[in-house]
Structure 1
Amino acid sequence: MTPDSNPHHGREFTAAWSEHMPGSMTHPGPRQNTWGTPAGANHAVADASVPIAEVLDTLWRARGVHTNPATGAPGTIPQRAIPSAGACYPVQVHLLCGTGCDVPPGIHAYNAEDSTTHRRTAAAPAMAGAILVFSVLPQRTAARYHHRALPLLLADTAYALLGVSRHAASRGLKSRWLTADPATLAAVARLPDYAAWQGRWPDTAPELALTALAVGAGDELPSLAQWGMAAAGPAGRPQPCPQRQPRTVASVEHWAAGPGLRHPEHAYDLTPGAVLGTVELLRRRSLPIHSPISNLAHPVRRVPWGVWRRLLGAFPLPAPAGCDVVVLGQEDIAKRGLHLECAGQEWVHSLDGILLLRTRAAPDEAAMWWAAGAAAHLLYSSLATGREHTFRPVAGWTGTRDGFITLHALGFRAQRSEGNTHVGQ
């Protein structure tokens, strides 16, 4: 397949903050790769100490569909416990399972469409626990957002990774965010590099491996080095789907070859923090998009900055130099004309408040991982502590304001008596 062209080739990441509007939507490609026959119930491991497939099922299994806000009829976008920009859901998960998991040892691909696992290879080192390799299908997000896609891929992955760690903690599991680059992650997960994917597995959807999380029941968690010694090239080719027009995105290929995607700087323990159970997690729906609500009819419940600061204090990833967080109330949003800074999204004026995660420097991958990770941490921590607010991640930020560039944002609104039906992300 011929890779997509991109007018911002060579400065792919920072181009996302330009005021250039994305073009018309192109073909998004497959929703996921199809890896063959899913594992049957007889392959499940009873009383597993690391029920990692159950964790993924809670996070990704569709719980119905969102209502079309224009017609009120059921739509086609699945309701899931984790958010995704534009409901593109590019994040894929490959499970590198040792002993003690609720699927047999080996490398498994997780299919979010029907919440099934597919064992790609039975080869596995002698170790307990699992490593989750998070990859993305860049074509899905790039089809809609074009040059703004790259930061969104990191943000979607951050929400997925933090969601797994917080829900795993509710099941007594420990987790660690592992340091790696795309080439290393692809090798240990026995996937082709993004640039080589179509050459190795033509007519399948190229995946870019972005990050990894170790999960286990004991103090000693698995490492990428253990799996690297067992790696022997790509395994378990997915089924071709030329009718879905899978393709490589040129800007992503160039971006993946650069140094910016090796992250985090060192491994971080994600075990401490709020414990997010199944009931709390399944309550998560992004707040609805609608016109501003009168404060006379529904007074704003202000959240003191100290509350957000305490929640942020538990996020282990330190803010890069020049980065900070600021919270704006409804009046500040209106006075600032905030919609002009986020691609004209006028619905932000319906928020009770918004947290802006910003940088004084040129945006880079490390800053974006921190911003999206911190926002995900705030969202999941608020869910776990029962705060009566709904949230919506806000992307599409452009330009500079007061010397800062907004990397990512988290809008919030108090739950109100008229009913808060949730649509969108």
Structure 2
Amino acid sequence: MTSLHTALAHARSPQPPGPDIPAGHQVTPWPGEPHPVPSHLDRLLRLSLGGNRLRPAASAGALHPVNTHLLLGPDNTVPPGRYAYDPVRHRLLARGTASADAPPGAVAVLTVTARRTVSHYGHRAWPLLLLDTGHATAALALAGAPQWCPDADITLLAAAAGLPPDWHGAEPEHPLAAVRLTPGPADALDRWAAYAPGAPPLPTSRTPPPVLRRTWRILSSLPGTTTWRPTAAPALPDTALTSRRSARPPFPGVPERTLLEQVRATARRTAPVPWRLLTARHPGTAAAPAGGAAPADLAARAAGQSLLGQVGALLVAHGCPDDAPPAQVRRDHVLAGHGVGLAQAVATHLGLASRPIGSWQHGPCGPPHIVHALALGVRTQPPEGTDRP
């Protein structure tokens, strides 16, 4: 097995993460001059990644490791060049200008700051970083982005985004995906890669622990093929995007089958990985539901999350074994995050409670090689912390 396969088997093992470490900056401290978001990108970024809680894109542990670098051509209301998006202030930070013949249109390169997720999840963090990237691409797709690339060559992405070859003591960012925010030329990434890299962000005094260094090595080694595909996001009202949240159980009611099929169909259509739908057992019965397992049976595999005993159904992405080709490992995790992100938006639109479930381990129940899941249900009692009528 390769080091990546060993790392995936380790992430799926029952070994718990080590003690927490500092998560670092919520937003990378790039030194650029702030600019307002161009008007034609304002709605898209506000509905996808913007907001003081970094919503509506879901994130494991609400740690939000995904960063966005915008490559803006000369058809914008800011000078053409590279910009880092600050989702908390909804501002662009200039990272380098480009000439008037820069590629037209707007492309987003998504990177991750691994420390934020490693701070709590340790050796289990790097698959979650891939899932979070998929959720961010789903959020952009739902807001109107037409195309995305879940497996772009990492060296090409880094050069196109102008990431520094030497971070000089700053927390590095690792590129994982690209999204076209507006139409543009097919060779946009290659043309942006021809520009010189920008300056690094402000340095940090923190010493990276071994688990973080190992995560950096994994993220730097992921292969890619740079295949663009349509986002295929469902058309939903803005309210479905801004109201999407990870619901707190209990929501044990099993949704109507027609609603569950709509959610599953969204995931299948937008993320070509194996999906399985599991439903809760009815009270007072011991019969196994369709699929041979109930959500509660998988709690031990989901890092012991007992909340799975309080949900009505579970949509599971699976089928990526520990020894899968590295390109498949990367692609399947990003696709699963993308599919769950879109499925959750549809579930919200249909009035269902939902919650993404990551960090899966090996175990005897349910489908093998679980990558990601979406818990679904109907509330049968008020959410915790509310008054009963």
**Which bin holds the TM-score, normalised by the shorter protein?**
0.7 to 0.9
Counterpart of 2:266 in structure 1 is: 311
Counterpart of 1:39 in structure 2 is: 34
2:24 maps to amino acid = G
Is the 1:214–1:221 contact (alpha carbons within 8 Å) kept by the matching residues of 2?
no
Counterpart of 2:303 in structure 1 is: 343
Counterpart of 1:191 in structure 2 is: 163
Secondary structure in 2 aligned to 1:367? helix
Counterpart of 1:238 in structure 2 is: 201
Across the two proteins, how many residue pairs are aligned to each other? 365
Pairing of 1:15-414 with structure 2 (within 5 A): 15-36=10-31, 38-41=33-36, 45=38, 51-62=40-51, 78=53, 80-124=55-99, 125-168=101-144, 174-177=146-149, 179-193=151-165, 200-217=166-183, 220=185, 223-228=188-193, 230-232=194-196, 234-242=197-205, 249-258=212-221, 260-262=222-224, 266-270=227-231, 272-289=232-249, 292=250, 299-304=253-258, 306-315=261-270, 317-319=271-273, 324-331=274-281, 332=289, 337-359=297-319, 361-362=321-322, 364-383=329-348, 386-401=349-364, 404-414=368-378
How far apart, CA to CA, are the structure 1 residues paired with 2:309 and 2:372?
17
How far apart, CA to CA, are the structure 1 residues paired with 2:314 and 2:67?
29
How far apart, CA to CA, are the structure 2 residues paired with 1:215 and 1:381?
21
Secondary structure in 2 aligned to 1:201? coil
TM-score, normalised relative to structure 1? 0.77
Change (3 A) 1:180 1:238: same
Give the unaligned 5+ runs of structure 1: 1-7, 64-77, 194-199
Change (3 A) 1:204 1:387: same
Secondary structure in 1 aligned to 2:200? coil
How far apart, CA to CA, are the structure 2 residues paired with 1:417 and 1:373?
30
- 24-33 or 54-63, which deviates more: 54-63
2:126 maps to amino acid = L
Shift of residue 159 of structure 1?
0.5
1:393 maps to amino acid = P
How far apart, CA to CA, are the structure 2 residues paired with 1:417 and 1:126?
56
Q: Give me the CA root mean square deviation.
A: 2.9
Give the unaligned 5+ runs of structure 2: 282-288
TM-score, normalised relative to structure 2? 0.83
2:200 maps to amino acid = R
2:269 maps to amino acid = A
Is the 1:120–1:235 contact (alpha carbons within 8 Å) kept by the matching residues of 2?
yes
Change (3 A) 1:416 1:403: closer
Change (3 A) 1:103 1:379: farther
Cα deviation 1:117-171 (Å, max 9, x = unaligned): 11111115433211101000001111110110011000101000111022025xx
Cα deviation 1:157-206 (Å, max 9, x = unaligned): 1000111022025xxxx33326522221111111135xxxxxx3333221
Q: Which runs of 4+ in 1 moved over 6 A?
A: none
